[in-house]
Amino acid sequence: MLSEFPPVSKAEWLNQIAKDLKGRPMEELLWTRTDGTVVTPFVHADDFPEPPAALAAESSGWEICEEISVSDPVSASRQAMDALEGGAEGLSFVLHTPLDAAGFAQLMEGIYLDYIGLHFAGKAVQTNPGIFLAQLESLAAQKGLATTALKGSLAYDPVPVSSVVDWRYLADLIEYARDKFPHFKLIRVASGADTPLKDTLQHANTYLSKLAEKGLSVAEIARTMEFSISIGKSYFVEIARLRALKLLWLNALQAWNAPLELPSISVHYQPETYTDDLYTNMIRATTMAMSAVQGGASRLTVRPYDAGRESQAKYPATFSRRIARNVQHLLKMESALDAVSDPAAGSYYIETLTQKLSREAWETMGR
């Protein structure tokens, strides 16, 4: 059937576009991003000598995560159980102060530790990340579980917040987790929606360089790291930005002569993308989630539509959190986006934008 439609070259398309513009310059169609990147809306198969390949051979899916702010372990535990009963696959506990052993056990009450992703963030993690692994080890022993069966992460990222990093401590933490918690990410490289990709890569490379000086292999360091990316509402750009980060990370590993493994990427929303129109936020939550999963997020936390505006909401917080989870359920169970290895692969526009973002970041590294 396709033989009935003869191929149309890029030159023919451009000629037609020029006619439709009726003398207006083609440059009017170009889009310049705030970082100076110029994007063309028209890309053609002729721009690719060979069809673009997917970044991954098969899909690993993504983890549906919910953030739990912990001020009281009892109420936080109830919210955690509500999230799990509603279909969350991972929990991110944000703690500003550490918990004692009894408080930690209460927080984990009713949770099957070896069944979900366990993530810990907040000031308490930045201050003393090791205590959370120690508490998990103790709790797992009480429940008769092997710590090697647990998976999760620590949001430990001392480089941006401290001029003096105790690299020996971090190296010891990695060595401790090597056998005890092999499925835990210990270093989280945080990046905002407006953070240039080159800065994110340089940030991550600091860990590779400094920890390699302490005797750890780059491959082992890389396996303990994840990127925490805040995304905005520019649909195609955010897809391309996540894919570009993957390409850049592979380039960095290749430069270190390390095995090439795609990075773990945790995605959350930039708060500024939400407005006082709560129903607009519902729509944005969906399109941003689509950007995240098509870009290749390993874990996604959808921001409730009334986050930061709870006083304006007509429904209880349990409703907005359920809607946030259901956005991801729709993308998995109805759209089957987790069944495709790289949903954006082959889109000439996204592929071109991915290459442009990654190339510009790599070329400006070190400047």
Could you report the per-residue pLDDT of 89-134, keeping only the tens digit for each? Answer: 999 999 999 999 999 999 999 999 999 999 999 999 999 999 999 9
Mark residue 63 as left, alpha or beta (left: phi above 0; alpha: psi -120 to 50; beta: remaining).
beta
Average pLDDT over residues 222-226: 97
333, 280, 335, 269: which is closest to 302 by C-alpha? 269
- Angle formed at CA 16 by CA 13 and CA 20, multiple of 5 degrees: 135
- 344 phi, psi to nearest 5 deg: -85, -10
Confidence of residue 149 (pLDDT cuts 50, 70, 90): very high
Nearest-angstrom CA–CA distance, 331 and 95: 30
User: With contact defined as beta carbons under 8 Å apart, do 289 and 302 qualify?
Assistant: yes
Confidence of residue 39 (pLDDT cuts 50, 70, 90): confident
Buried b (16+ CB within 10 A) or exposed e, 335-360: eebbebebbbbebbbbbbbbbbbbeb
Q: Do β-strands 31-32 and 38-39 pair in parallel, antiparallel, or remain unpaired?
A: antiparallel
The DSSP annotation for 126-179 comes to: HH-THHHHHHHHHHHHHTT--GGG-EEEEEE--TTT-SS--HHHHHHHHHHHHH
pLDDT at 2: 64
Confidence of residue 162 (pLDDT cuts 50, 70, 90): low
Instruction: Provide the sign of the torsion angle of the four alpha carbons 295, 299, 305, 307, taken in this order.
Output: negative
Q: Is residue 89 exposed (0-12), middle (13-18) or buried (19+ Cβ within 10 Å)?
A: buried
Give this prediction's pTM. Answer: 0.93
Determine the 3-state secondary structure of 268 from DSSP. strand
pLDDT at 358: 94
Residue 75 has pLDDT above 90, yes or no: yes
How many CB atoms sit inside 10 A of residue 96's CB? 14
pLDDT at 308: 87
Confidence of residue 26 (pLDDT cuts 50, 70, 90): confident
pLDDT at 213: 96
How many CB atoms sit inside 10 A of residue 250's CB? 17
Structure tokens at 210: 């400094």
How many CB atoms sit inside 10 A of residue 170's CB? 23
User: With contact defined as beta carbons under 8 Å apart, do 283 and 91 qualify?
Assistant: no
How many CB atoms sit inside 10 A of residue 286's CB? 18
Q: Which domains does the chain have, with CATH numbers?
A: 2-40 (no CATH), 111-363 (3.20.20.240)
Q: Mean of the per-residue pLDDT values for the chain?
A: 92
Average pLDDT over residues 29-37: 79
Q: Is residue 50 exposed (0-12), middle (13-18) or buried (19+ Cβ within 10 Å)?
A: exposed
Confidence of residue 161 (pLDDT cuts 50, 70, 90): low
The DSSP annotation for 313-364 comes to: -SS-HHHHHHHHHHHHHIIIIIT-GGGSS-TTTT-HHHHHHHHHHHHHHHHT
Q: Do β-strands 264-269 and 299-301 pair in parallel, antiparallel, or remain unpaired?
A: parallel
Strand spans (E) along the chain: 31-32, 38-39, 63-70, 90-95, 117-121, 151-156, 184-191, 225-231, 264-269, 299-301
Nearest-angstrom CA–CA distance, 38 and 32: 4
Confidence of residue 5 (pLDDT cuts 50, 70, 90): confident
DSSP state of 47: G
pLDDT at 27: 86
155-164, 252-261, 317-326: which has the minimum mean pLDDT?
155-164
Confidence of residue 226 (pLDDT cuts 50, 70, 90): very high
Average pLDDT over residues 71-90: 96
Helix axes 167-180, 197-212, angle to 10 degrees: 80
